[in-house]
Structure 1
């Protein structure tokens, strides 16, 4: 392949074909610079509605709007070349029925150029997923703990324990049968996530689920140690950039107050003989 040949982006069929094969590495991104970093190493970059909490300081994802997803989706697409970019459908943009969901999903894909959308819910959303996929909208499903319904769950609770396991398994099965090309399993007890992964013919993407899942996803700011207000058990920090950034900001502020910044090397000299204008 020529060094100047265009990079081919991964597609939903590419992701589906990875079932049982090489693990899928997935991360969220909300900005162009972070998308560029993730794109070098990840198979899927998710523009998650977690941006409401991580970027906009909201208490949960419920206040995220379709316009917010469009804004960040376009930003991420400017930084992604190889990875499949998936954009979340926000709360209130698809629950009323398939027609509402199609309008929102079609707008996301048309105005951002993303490769797929993601929606939360179980068997009750299967007709909507089928409606979308039959009309050319690739859908990643999200079952188990679905943050948009955290109020009805009574908090960010582990899913699939005891009798509840049947419900989670049926939700995953229904989404696969409806045409979802991959399914996120969030905060699902490990043995059940392993069983669901073995049961389905589409990839599972775990977040607080099981190493047996076909892939894993985490929030970029969590693994970098930037967003620290909410730290789930399933997050592993690979850096402490928040601490490093605060130290850098403190050093800058102190140097400004001490008169040590800017120094001569940060300033511009006049050219010899250059007249000044008054």
Structure 2
């Protein structure tokens, strides 16, 4: 007996014995699939997974997450410091380190260095980060620019006391030779001198109105870029802790200390060729304002 006979579709009704012919004259094609488990009497496959519903749920979760982040950003600027934040997950940064405070960035400049920082913790952190960039720049190896930076960054009495010592350090022939520079602090022909500090984050160690102690964690690029360099550009990590005082409407450095690290594990990335590094230094300007 054929399948067509079993289902009442005989040849005299105009239907063939083909098991895949149309059903009941409705022109609906019956298709047999390999998966017969859980099917109905017509060999229909199991119900497919409800992907549309899963996608809707996923989109809903993403929308809620974005809304939660936006709400946290709007409500996180209520204070300058995060006093413990008991609800904060262990190891996560304090909200004060990332939340907007509403204080606008400085508008003034003292030469090429930002000035006019806010008289609060955020202003002290901004000042420390910008001063770390200035004091770690290649301009410190130029006598004229070095004196301008020292005058802008340090408190007047400290700048006057340290000017001579800093000139000796940065102009010392032995020191300059050891890092591959000429006696006047310039790079040899065909090479580009690189000295840049890139702040990663800041932390208020102590704040007392007109005085502050701020730690700045940063990476430093230092060396000579170009073919034949004996001191290729390398990366180092440091933390500078600046002692700041509020003078004449701005934060000024009275002292600072430096220590190595924290240093992250380097990724498995090949170093760029000397010419590519030199081009990057020329094409990418350093930060003019940090934090």
Which has more radius of gyration?
2
Relative to its length, the structure with more helix (as a share) is 1
**TM-score (norm: length of structure 2):** 0.22
Relative to its length, the structure with more strand (as a share) is 2
**TM-score (norm: length of structure 1):** 0.23
